[in-house]
Structure 1
Amino acid sequence: MEEKKDKKGRILAAINIILCIILIPVILMNVTVIISSYIHPDEIPGIFGIKPVAVLSGSMEDTFMTGELIFVEKTDTSLLKEGDVICYLMEGQAVTHRIVSIEQDEEGEDFYITRGDANNTEDRETVRPEQVQGIWNGVHLAGMGNFVIFLSSTTGMIVFIICPILLLIAWDVIRRWQMDKKERSRADELEAELKALKAAQSEREKAELEQ
């Protein structure tokens, strides 16, 4: 019986560890992204300088496809060169295109001419360094862009932030209840043993008196 209880306890402990390993990083990443988006509303939220970007159009096919998730890294814009794929904000929307040329305005400030790999013409709007969110690091994950879009929605936040937190709280409550139950059971066993010992002692004392 005790062996079964110990085995069950080990299983529950393993489940607890697995849940923590899975849920805590998810919660922390989501909270970090949300806080970052509020602190810097004019920037794409990211973690440790790496920003996930969902691909919403086919302007860069076949370099990466619609619905994919790409990652861009913060960069020193003075180091950008022709051929780099950059992500920048244009009227509040993230655009990831390739630099086809770097030019300077009358004041000697750089600006970038960009074009999508699948497009035949250059983008009408030029890009300023302050618009650049990062340079594409070459990583792209098929189908994950749609997941990120869902994650940023109200439903996604409920599913991947609120639900994991509630699950962790519920699990902790259950674990503590089980520990308390085990302690109460052990206390009851000790109390029963003590009563048995007292009863035995009383019987011995009674027998000695009768003699």
Structure 2
Amino acid sequence: MKKVLKKIINVIIDIVVILVLVVSVLIVTLSLTSKSSGVPNIFGIAPLSVQTDSMEDTINVGDLIFSDVTNDPSYEYQKGDIVTFPITVNGESVLNTHRIVEVVKDDNITYYRTQGDNKKTNPEPDKDLQTSSTIVAKYTGTKIGGVGNFLSFIRTQLGFFLCVLLPMIIFFVYEAVRVVLNLLAYNKEKTLKEAKLAVDSAELTEEQKKRAIEEYLASVGENQDKAENEPEVQTPADGNNSADNSD
């Protein structure tokens, strides 16, 4: 039972480690691609965390949405497309996702007017028009509810430490302890085997000695019995001497 439980624990730990490694790779990849293309993405797919309710009920706060990276000046968008573009909020550049409500063409340049679906928070279209050069991604229609908050959290220093670094530290400590315990168990088992082998060898040697002694004593006893049962034979010299003595 203990071995089965230990095996289950090891499997669970291995799965957690694999997940942590995958998350670490994803975070690094998203950070690198964000600097190069302006939007974090993996193989052209941008997982974006929704932070505001401007697109409710189409997209809700905390959703993780997936968008195609379309950072292409020649790309033509259509009315109704949900697109992502950078805006400045409190002096910081952030990504904003709104719907194209109007396509405006002026001097062979196509502009896109955007607005959030939530008319309570966005009663009017956005002030700034967008172009194909400023739009970086187009929503695919795929989203996962609630996962966006987790993605945003693990991209913070605290989240990265708690979700990535801390599990890795615990894993390495656990593996170090497991290696030491396995080494001690191996040495103990090896010592027991050597001791048992030595004892077994000693017992076999004593048995061999005992058997040899018994066989020797048996052979000696047989020789004595054989000698006692054989008749006494007199030599001719002994016969002459007897005759001489009789005279």
Q: TM-score scaled to structure 1, two decimals?
A: 0.81
Query: How far apart, in 2, do the equivalents of 1:194 and 1:105 lie?
Result: 94
Query: How far apart, in 2, do the equivalents of 1:176 and 1:93 lie?
Result: 47
Contact persistence 2:85–2:135 (CA under 8 A): yes
Deviation, 1:16, is 2.4
Residues 124-145 of structure 1: CA distance to partner in whole angstroms, max 9, x if unpaired? 1112323323222223333333
SS in 2 for 1:131: coil
Contact persistence 1:73–1:135 (CA under 8 A): yes
The gaps in structure 1 that reach 5 residues or longer are: 1-6
Q: Which amino acid aligns with 2:96?
A: V
Query: How far apart, in 2, do the equivalents of 1:166 and 1:157 lie?
Result: 13
Contact persistence 2:33–2:39 (CA under 8 A): no
Query: How far apart, in 2, do the equivalents of 1:89 and 1:20 lie?
Result: 39
Number of the residue aligned with 2:6: 12
Residues 163 and 100 (structure 1 numbering): CA distance in 2 closer, same or farther, change over 3 Å? same
Deviation, 1:84, is 0.8
Q: Which amino acid aligns with 1:61?
A: E
Match of 2:138 among 129, 135, 139: 135
SS in 2 for 1:96: strand
Query: How far apart, in 2, do the equivalents of 1:194 and 1:30 lie?
Result: 50
Contact persistence 2:115–2:126 (CA under 8 A): yes
Q: How many residues align?
A: 204
Deviation, 1:159, is 0.9
Query: How far apart, in 2, do the equivalents of 1:93 and 1:113 lie?
Result: 18
Q: Which amino acid aligns with 1:83?
A: G
Q: Which shifted more, 113-122 or 74-83? A: 74-83
Residues 152-198 of structure 1: CA distance to partner in whole angstroms, max 9, x if unpaired? 11110101110121132123223323432332232122112211122
Q: Tell me if 1:44 matches 2:39.
A: yes
Query: How far apart, in 2, do the equivalents of 1:46 and 1:17 lie?
Result: 31
Query: How far apart, in 2, do the equivalents of 1:130 and 1:50 lie?
Result: 18
1:1-211 equivalence runs, <5 A:
7-38=1-32, 40-41=34-35, 43-75=38-70, 78-91=75-88, 92-106=93-107, 108-118=108-118, 119-207=122-210, 208-209=212-213, 211=217
Residues 49-75 of structure 1: CA distance to partner in whole angstroms, max 9, x if unpaired? 332222222211121222333222224
Residues 32 and 146 (structure 1 numbering): CA distance in 2 closer, same or farther, change over 3 Å? closer
SS in 2 for 1:172: helix
Q: Which amino acid aligns with 2:100?
A: I
Residues 171 and 109 (structure 1 numbering): CA distance in 2 closer, same or farther, change over 3 Å? farther
Contact persistence 2:104–2:112 (CA under 8 A): yes
Number of the residue aligned with 1:3: none
Q: Which shifted more, 58-67 or 22-31? A: 22-31
Contact persistence 1:52–1:69 (CA under 8 A): yes
SS in 2 for 1:132: coil
Q: TM-score scaled to structure 2, two decimals?
A: 0.71
